[in-house]
Amino acid sequence: MLSPKARLDCLAIRGRSCAGEPWADDPLTLVNLPVWESAEALKNYAYRSAHATLWWVPAGHTPSLAEAHERLETYRRDGATARAFWFSRIFPAPEE
């Protein structure tokens, strides 16, 4: 298992190598967009720390920071919808 410092180093290297992403040029920005296998696994983790919003991601898709920002803004503006929600109102995963 990597130490926390090694993890940050890996993230910093990845960030600088992701040209085109809005956060890639700022060495002081750290992005964490985890992907979970199920709502239950996420719920078990999320209630141990602070998180803002949830949404379903198709298999194989990697969410961008811009997508995360848009989903968070959707949740703040509209409340829980199928596009962005929280544990108090989980929407089913869309059919793929």
Residue by residue, DSSP assigns the chain as ---HHHHHHHHHHHHHT-TTSTTTT-TT--------S-HHHHHHHHTTS----B----TT----HHHHHHHHHHHHHH-S-SSSBBTTBPPPPPP-
Could you tell me the residue ranges of all domains in the chain? 1-32, 34-96
pLDDT at residue 50 is higher than 60: no
Q: How far apart are the first and last CA of the chain?
A: 34
pLDDT at residue 48 is higher than 80: no
Q: Which residue has the higher pLDDT, 36 or 49?
A: 36
**Residue 54 β-bridge partners:** 85
Which residues does 76 contact at the CB level (< 8 Å), separation at least 6?
none
The mean predicted confidence, pLDDT, of the chain is: 75
pTM surpassing 0.85? no
